[in-house]
A and B are shown apart, each in its own frame.
Chain A
Amino acid sequence: MKRLLSCAATGIDRISIFIGQSSSVLLFACILASAVEVLLRYGFDSPTLWSTELSMTLCATAWVLAVGSVTQRNRHIAITMIEGLISPAAWRRLRLVQMLASVLAVGTLTVALWKPAMKVLARPEYSGTAMNSLQPSYLKVLLLVGCGLYLLQLAANIIRWVQRTEKEIPGGH
């Protein structure tokens, strides 16, 4: 059981890192799409209808899907001044409290996001612009997926906490 869990944690870590690194490529694509739009609009006098919605969608995807890798490295912004004031053992217990609080918050958000996401899957919501893309529906589902990744990585972090295999945590900032 212990080995199985530890394998699961390692697997989740790998998934998070892989998705995070892939996200960075999307971000770059998004930068290029925006720069190309300026070129098309001013260089060739032919603005596109898709640039804004495409860049936003790419960027939002990278932004939301990076959550696994951010969680894996404990890079969420927190105020950890208390670490210097209490014993290492107490801090270790507090680490668990922090992770459980995250599970509670993200878990509740996931439940809350479920209905809207299912609603747009059943009856798609369009952007209503000239482009009229499925962006609003997509973003609702995307956020749900992001929450799922967040929860998954939190589970891996908790396994590591239980097995005392947490890596060096770069405190707070």
Chain B
Amino acid sequence: TETLNIQSSFNAGDFTMQYLTEHWLPKVPQVTGGRYAITLKPNGSVVPAKETIDATASGVLDGDFTSVNYFSGLEPAFAIMADLISGYDTPEQMLGFCKTDQGEAMEQKIVDTVAHGDVQVVGCGPYSRESLPARVPINGFADMKGKKIRAPEGLASAVFAAAGASPVSIPFSEVYGALEKGIVDAADASAYINNATTGLHDVASYPLYPGIHSMPLMQFTLSKDRWSKMSAADRAALRDWWYAAMEDLIKVVDEQDRARVASDRAAGKIHIINWAQNDRDRMRGVARGEWLKYADKSPLAREALNAHIAYMKKIGLFKD
């Protein structure tokens, strides 16, 4: 059995890391006839998260399983791929962009600009839609006006600004205190279940769920060196394995979100806000203008955005 050293952007104690290790890593030898196994290394344990593409290219890692957001500084197109703020309504939609549409090929093209053909993209897709914890009710698009929202990434802060909010850049470690003190009204954080577990809803009792902004994309890559030595059957098996794992993860995280939402609703202390479709569509319309501006940063970013928008039209998220 050949062991593939894959660094992920999950932390050692994360639910996702434990879930994958327990349920999905043991399946790798099964689907490859015992020829391959995968060890998933926690975020930053071998190299910093934003270096995993280079690390894979140079042979330090056999591949990565990383949130594409980390690469935003390397090429603006990564930011467009990583998290098309307020774009998709469900993770399944965006996963479809990678699995059945142009997403995977696009991600490969962007990775190639950094790795010069030494890294193979096996798959890409999100596994959760983040909810937005807020300390005041933001009942719809019109309520965004004047709200201070924590959003460290460039595209997210541009979209919030365009929606009339004022984005604030504070480190994640400060989110709790900032919400508690009213320094920000809402904060880009994580999935509902994670925000609930870390206690954010104690200080932000008007969470927006399902969320309206962020859906981070993960990528699964292998070094070309390893990839080229693999049989076509093993390649297909690994790709199928990964998408199956992501689809399962989407389901499990969603179930946890729903269970927690249900119990929070019943307890009555937390007021969960679900935007009307009309508000979501308005937000998406405004966001589209910001995506276009952001995509001006590089030809590849423009290309990635065009691919996204073509797909979104195909599935009915945009009419024109």
Are A and B in contact, CB atoms below 8 Å, in the complex?
yes
What is the interface of chain A, defined by CB distance below 8 A to chain B? 41-42, 47, 49, 52, 125-132, 136
9 tightest A-B CB contacts, nearest first: A128-B72, A128-B73, A126-B73, A130-B157, A49-B169, A130-B169, A130-B154, A127-B73, A47-B168
Q: Are A41 and B169 interface neighbours, CB within 8 A?
A: no
Interface residues of B in 30-87 (CB under 8 A from A): 50, 69-74, 78-79
Report chain A residues within 8 Å CB of B152.
Answer: 129-130
Residues A130 and B151 in contact in the complex (CB < 8 Å), given A47-B170, A49-B169, A52-B171: yes
**Interface residue range, chain B:** 20 to 34
Q: Are B168 and A129 interface neighbours, CB within 8 A?
A: no
Q: Are B170 and A125 interface neighbours, CB within 8 A?
A: no
Q: How far is the CA of A126 from the CA of B153 in the complex (A)?
A: 12
Q: How far is the CB of B75 from chain A (nearest CB, A)?
A: 9
Q: How far is the CB of A100 from chain B (nearest CB, A)?
A: 29
Q: Which of A41, A42, A52, A130 contacts B153 (CB 8 A)?
A: A130
B183 within 8 A of A: yes
Q: How far is the CB of B166 from chain A (nearest CB, A)?
A: 9
B210 within 8 A of A: no
Q: How far is the CA of A121 from the CA of B157 in the complex (A)?
A: 28
Q: Can you give 30 A-B contacts (C-beta < 8 A)?
A: A47-B170, A47-B183, A49-B169, A52-B169, A52-B171, A126-B72, A126-B73, A126-B74, A127-B73, A128-B69, A128-B70, A128-B71, A128-B74, A128-B79, A128-B153, A128-B154, A129-B152, A129-B153, A129-B154, A129-B169, A130-B151, A130-B152, A130-B153, A130-B154, A130-B157, A131-B169, A132-B73, A132-B154, A136-B50, A136-B73
Report chain A residues within 8 Å CB of B50.
Answer: 136
